[in-house]
Amino acid sequence: MDPNSLLGKLSGEVISCSLCTRLARYRVEASLKDPRRVYWAKPVPGYGDPMARIFVVGLAPAVRGGNRTGRVFTGDETSQNLMRALYEVGLSNQPYSISADDGLVLRDVYLTAAVKCAPPDNRPNAQEIANCSRYLEAEVRLLKRSRVFVALGNIAWSAMLKAVGSTLEPYLKDLDLGFRHGAI
């Protein structure tokens, strides 16, 4: 199977996930608080180039971003900053990400989240992170060309290290890989 088909199959599994009752309830309740808009209100799969060498992991879909639009890093302020940066270095075809059908094309970049549902107060619990880890690990396995892993925050960092850990363990064992704000 080609990478697009495999990622499509994985996306279907993510979207149909119902492991976390707290997150499932929250994503729907959040959509009901904004009746003027139609909300996706389901788990949000990763998005981007299946041949990407750059793999970006965030915490979770924003409640009024990915939870509303159905696409990770879409429709909120954080996504606009990220898209502008990707556009400026030639990794996307446009400097914005406002809806799942806005024509965004990512080049050599794949975007995903450690947790696939918007958590209350942006704070998933340990079990919710663990439940989603299978999806992040599958994404890492499927994106075989990825060589640069970017984590946006401590939870994303820890989840990403766990997801790539088994593959890269021999190379990582002697490195200090602690998370630091603003560190590169």
> Does residue 77 lie within any of the structural domains?
yes
Q: What percent of the chain has pLDDT over 70?
A: 90
* Residue 9, domain CATH: 3.40.470.10
> Does residue 177 lie within any of the structural domains?
no
> Does residue 73 lie within any of the structural domains?
yes
> pLDDT higher for 178 or 137?
137
pLDDT in the model for residue 78:
83
6 pLDDT more than 90: yes
Looking at the 3D structure of the chain, how many domains does it have?
1
> Does residue 174 lie within any of the structural domains?
no
Nearest residue to 115 via CA among 134, 97, 91: 134
pLDDT in the model for residue 181:
60
> Does residue 178 lie within any of the structural domains?
no
> Does residue 183 lie within any of the structural domains?
no
Confidence grade of residue 1 (pLDDT, cut at 50, 70, 90): confident
Find tokens 């009752």 and name the residue: 21
pLDDT in the model for residue 177:
58
- Give the residue ranges of DSSP H helices in 19-59: 21-32
Average pLDDT, the chain: 92
Phi/psi for 163 (5° steps) reads: -70, -40
> Does residue 176 lie within any of the structural domains?
no
Residue 175, Cβ neighbours under 10 Å: how many? 8
Under 8 Å between Cβ of 99 and 2: no
Note down the domain range covering 126: 3-169
> Does residue 156 lie within any of the structural domains?
yes
Cα(110)–Cα(82) distance, rounded to whole angstroms?
A: 12
131 pLDDT more than 80: yes
Confidence grade of residue 176 (pLDDT, cut at 50, 70, 90): low
| Mean pLDDT value across residues 104-111 | 98
pLDDT per residue as tens digits for the range 26-57: 999 999 998 899 999 999 999 999 999 999 99
